[in-house]
A and B are shown apart, each in its own frame.
Chain A
Amino acid sequence: MFYWFFRYHVFFITTFYFLLTISLITWNTKYRDSLSLPEKLIFKITQPIQKTVSLIAHFPIDIWENYLFISNLTEESLKLKEDIGLLRAKNNQLLETLSSYKRVDDLLKVKDTFSYASIVAYVIGGDVSLWYKTVLIDKGERDGIKKGFPVITNKGVVGKVLKVWDSSSRVLLLTDHNFAIDGIVQRNRIKGIVAGFDNSTCLFKYILATEDIRQGDTIISSGLDGLFPKGIIIGTIKKKFVDNTGVFFHVEIKPSADIKKLEEVLVIIPS
């Protein structure tokens, strides 16, 4: 018996790990509704580091963009270049701070127009995988955030909260395949489902080929999904054609919110 086990131990170990993983996936999809202790622990360790690293990483980009601008001033003396460089760097930092305040201010204006409570959060990280579109924000359970809460910017829908930890949350973006929201065409109230497609595009699904939709039409949230308040801009139609079935339109939407350059977002707390 033992001889037999040792002879085929590689097979047994491999099978064990694969079965363990499959059980984990099954348990996770069927029975789980909260985070496990190891997950909470790992996140508690990584979140502050991620936040710091993300902040540090933004700094050289600002400096680099600034440097590229300065390097064009070839006729200036080296001393002057250095001086300008330093001043530009300082100025850039100030402008960055000012722009950050402006963005937060814009968000707060949106916040004031809602009858819902909301929280401003900063994006501090991305997703490990290239194929799943999520971001990490710096607000969590202790700020009142719960799974499923809608996330927007002053320009439009961003996504919804997918996982919540103590002081941070993961947001499923509008462009992810697992995301769906009930939408309507603002011009003529045609209903459909907006779902993620690729990095910068969404699909407006189940629109009959006989319906009147046009390129440039604005899609807004209908409020029927019970998640997003009615009237929030999702995006504009950038492409449409009749699909292979001949029954529906294939409609591509450009999201209004700049999904690729998210820095600050607003998490809506449903009443």
Chain B
Amino acid sequence: MKLLFFSAISLFLLIIQTSFLKVFLGSSLNLDLTLIMVVYFGLFLNYHSGIFLSFIAGYLADILSGTILGAIILIRLLDFVVIYKLKKIVYPKNIISQSFLVLLLSFIENSAFSIYFFGLGETLFTYLSAKIMPQALLNSLFAPLVISIINKAEKSFFHIKEI
């Protein structure tokens, strides 16, 4: 039931990301809701559910994008494994930890894309200030809010009481 719930949430967030947010943020910035979702899976779910849901989130993102089917799944699986490993050294409920993890992953992911497309030349430094950092900051700024909304939705849906 939980897997179905989170799959539906992933799909909903992807629809918001590709339609509503695209209109407001334009094409130069993109609030990566699937990345934040995967950070949530890594911080708050067990390994089996988390990796399965990260796979599903990546699969849905692949369907709704122009990439090769499997490219985003691979990135999301790597994100999940990194988050799950880092979970032991950070406090998952702390908003600074959440923001930091999203900032780190977003920065690495976008830098990797930039190197893949443009190599290690001058363009990387131009993109670092013009695209990669603003993108990472935007994601990290909104991460605590999105994570808290998902957390609240999960609690109210499954009637979980705060201890």
State the A residues within 8 Å of B (CB). Answer: 10, 13-14, 17-18, 20-22, 24-25, 28-29, 32, 39, 42-43, 45-46, 49-51, 53-54, 56-58, 61, 124-134, 136, 162-163, 170, 172, 176-178, 199, 259-260
Contact = CB atoms under 8 A, between A and B. Distances in A.
A125 B18 contact: yes
A21 B55 contact: yes
A128 B16 CA distance: 10
A39 B61 CA distance: 11
Given A24-B70, A28-B70, A29-B68, A131 B117 contact: yes
A46 B11 contact: yes
Consensus secondary structure, chain B interface: helix
* Contact-residue size bin, chain B (C-beta under 8 Å from the other chain): 35 or more
B88 interface: no
Interface of B: 11, 14-20, 22-24, 26-30, 32, 34, 47-48, 51-52, 55, 58, 60-61, 63-74, 77, 81, 110, 113-114, 117, 131, 135
Nearest to A176: B66
B19 A54 contact: yes
Nearest to B135: A130
Contact of B19 (A13, A126, A129): A126
Contacts of B77: 14, 17-18, 21
B34 A128 contact: yes
Nearest to A46: B15
B19 A50 contact: yes
A58 B14 CA distance: 18
* A interface, over-half SS: helix
Contact of B65 (A10, A17, A128, A199): A128
Contacts of B69: 24-25, 28, 32, 39
Given A17-B52, A54-B23, A177-B117, 11 more contacts: A13-B48, A20-B55, A21-B58, A25-B71, A45-B11, A61-B24, A128-B65, A129-B66, A129-B72, A131-B117, A170-B66
Nearest to A45: B11
Contacts of A131: 110, 113-114, 117
Contacts of A42: 11, 60, 63
Nearest to A52: B19
A134 B66 contact: yes
Given A21-B77, A25-B74, A132 B20 contact: no
Q: Which 10 A-B pairs have the closest CB atoms?
A: A134-B66, A25-B70, A126-B22, A24-B70, A57-B23, A128-B65, A28-B69, A53-B19, A130-B30, A54-B19
Given A14-B51, A54-B23, A61-B24, A129 B70 contact: no
A3 to B, nearest CB: 19
B23 A128 contact: no
B52 to A, nearest CB: 8
